[in-house]
Amino acid sequence: MTQITLQNTQTRQKEVLEPIKSGEVSMYVCGPTVYDRAHLGNARPVIIFDTLFRLLRHVYGEDKVTYVRNFTDVDDKINARAAQTGQSIREITDGTIGLYLDDMDAVGAMHPTHMPRATEYIQPMVDMSADLIEKGFAYEAKGHVLFAVESYADYGKFSGRSIDDMIAGSRVEVAPYKRNPMDFVLWKPSDADTPGWDSPWGKGRPGWHIECSAMAHELLGESFDIHGGGNDLMFPHHENEIAQSKCVGHEFANIWIHNEMLQVEGKKMSKSLGNFFTVRDLLDQGVPGEVIRFVMLSTHYRKPMDWTETKRAEAERTLRGWHAKIEGVTAADAPNADVIEALADDLNTHKAIQALHDIARNGDPAVLKRSAQLLGLLSDEMDDWVAPSFGGGLDHEKIMDVESWLRSARNAAKLSGDFSEVDRLRSDARDAGLEVQMGKDTVELKPTSAFDADRLHSIKRGEA
Ligand SMILES: [Zn+2]
């Protein structure tokens, strides 16, 4: 069996994945708070953990991997959106979940095994909070239940901070009912305008962190193999998940994986810089989901990912070339070994894509197709964009004509030493948005995103 190594944030070491339950893998990834469309940065962890999910399924078997990704559907941002728009909370959360799944489907992300909604797991959150009070790690104050960070000696260890650093470096909510400003909310009271559930502490709602601890426990048990998320969640969210779960006596996650953040053209994506866009914005501009996925995977998950127009154009060209190569080809039974090896080495998607380039150049198209599918690329569901985006103007016959004219012009030029006709045809083809690849005995023209059907049709064979 392929050995998978992963960089464990908790131990700061690359570790061999050794599943708790032999032959089966369990993974939890923090999901979105559902009040708005996913921005491009939100798609990065989804694509990364989807690729890990695919690798795990390949290595352990499709029915041996349990992947949980939650929806946070109780949150003050959702309440604010409801008040602002006049929609009900349920309309907002149901609607946003639908849009989110549409967008993630478009970038080729498989649905996780379980997608629990926080509001369906309120009782386990109440139970866990009560258990923490009983064990002396939490306390009730003015209708709130707070986790007492000083009761857990390892608090801060995961993210590598001391309590003093955390107080100094973060905007903690100072409230008179907190014993320590770092104490965080497990439960808080709700008024008539905010959603609430009955609890031993009155009508209220859970804090954010307790959701993941409770849902991971319900769906994966007291311990599981992998916990993932963006590195912006390390503190306080993951630090708090660990504190809660460990203090009720759960082992919780063995390996923690964090992805780096996304930038746009070298800058942090933000509304104030005007470079903020959603996945849907890109799709609406005609950027195929497969291209978004390719660009995301071309950078290793532990490096900052820079979304650039240049990368988008290159990815589109590459994928068009690959799709042309695999047209009508049935995928091979097994992916290429170099691709598997790269992915098994801390999910090195950058290296895996380099291996795919090698196969595309020199290898079997059937193996290219099967290997790319391990990264969620070149799937039969994702190839729709390749032809239609040429607006129906992609004339394969004419492209083949121009290829053959170029071949014979070159043969003639080899004898005469006059390459002007070769140069003219090549330049006309480029003007029509075709990439010209001339091998020793071959000529290949590939449509790029700049393809222009009118210009293609105006190309004429010169006088021989
Ligand atoms: Zn979480």
> What is the DSSP code string of 388-414?
GGGTT---HHHHHHHHHHHHHHHHHHH
Q: Looking at the domain assignment, is residue 189 inside a domain?
A: no
Q: Looking at the domain assignment, is residue 190 inside a domain?
A: no
pLDDT at 391: 47
> Taking Cα atoms as reference points, which of 271, 234, 283, 272 lies closest to residue 104?
283
> Taking Cα atoms as reference points, which of 380, 340, 376 lies closest to residue 359?
340
Other CB atoms within 10 Å distance of the CB of residue 337: 12
Rounded average pLDDT over 326-338? 95
93, 46: one domain? yes
Q: Looking at the domain assignment, is residue 97 inside a domain?
A: yes
Q: Looking at the domain assignment, is residue 216 inside a domain?
A: yes
Higher pLDDT, 208 or 395: 208
Among the ranges given (11-20, 142-151, 156-165), the one the predictor scored with the smallest mean pLDDT: 156-165
Q: What is the percent of the chain with per-residue pLDDT over 90, rounded to a whole number?
A: 77
210 alpha carbon to ligand 1 midpoint, in Å?
8
- Using CA atoms of 247, 248, 249, 255 in order, give the dihedral in degrees to the nearest 10: -70
Tens of pLDDT along 381-412? 877 787 644 544 567 778 888 988 999 999 89
Higher pLDDT, 377 or 445: 377
427, 370: one domain? no
pLDDT at 443: 84
The Cα–Cα gap between 306 and 269 comes to 10
CA 50 to chain centre: 6
31 alpha carbon to ligand 1 midpoint, in Å?
7
211, 250: one domain? yes
The Cα–Cα gap between 443 and 249 comes to 66
67 alpha carbon to ligand 1 midpoint, in Å?
14
Residue type at position 274? G
Tens of pLDDT along 54-67? 999 999 999 999 99
329, 248: one domain? no
Q: Looking at the domain assignment, is residue 331 inside a domain?
A: yes
264 alpha carbon to ligand 1 midpoint, in Å?
25
331, 452: one domain? no
pLDDT at 16: 98
Q: Is 237 annotated as a binding residue?
A: yes
Tokens of 214: 């409770």
Question: For residues 106 and 50, is the Cβ–Cβ distance under 8 A?
Answer: no
Positive/negative CA dihedral, 212, 213, 214, 219: positive
116 alpha carbon to ligand 1 midpoint, in Å?
12
Rounded average pLDDT over 115-133? 98
422, 302: one domain? no
pLDDT at 147 over 60: yes
104 alpha carbon to ligand 1 midpoint, in Å?
19
pLDDT at 245: 98
Tens of pLDDT along 195-206? 999 999 999 999
CATH number of the domain bearing residue 316: 1.20.120
The Cα–Cα gap between 464 and 323 comes to 34
359, 242: one domain? no
216 alpha carbon to ligand 1 midpoint, in Å?
9
What does pLDDT average to over the chain?
Answer: 92
Q: Looking at the domain assignment, is residue 451 inside a domain?
A: yes
221, 327: one domain? no
Question: For residues 394 and 447, is the Cβ–Cβ distance under 8 A?
Answer: yes
* Token pair 């064979």: residue: 461
Tens of pLDDT along 350-369? 999 999 999 999 999 999 99
Q: Is 212 annotated as a binding residue?
A: yes
| pLDDT level of residue 453 (50, 70, 90 thresholds) | confident
318, 219: one domain? no
- Using CA atoms of 225, 231, 235, 238 in order, give the dihedral in degrees to the nearest 10: -20
Among the ranges given (7-11, 147-151, 385-389), the one the predictor scored with the smallest mean pLDDT: 385-389
Is the bond preceding residue 365 a cis peptide, omega within 30 degrees? no
Q: How many independent structural domains does the chain possess?
A: 3
Which residue segment(s) compose the domain that 367 sits in? 286-386
Residues around ligand 1, an ion, CB closer than 5 A: 30, 212
CATH number of the domain bearing residue 244: 3.40.50.620
pLDDT at 125 over 70: yes
Other CB atoms within 10 Å distance of the CB of residue 136: 10
305 alpha carbon to ligand 1 midpoint, in Å?
22
End position of a domain, from candidates 353, 386, 419:
386
Helix (H) or strand (E) segment spanning residue 28: strand 25-29
Residue type at position 378? L
Q: Is 271 annotated as a binding residue?
A: yes
The Cα–Cα gap between 67 and 53 comes to 7
pLDDT at 274: 82
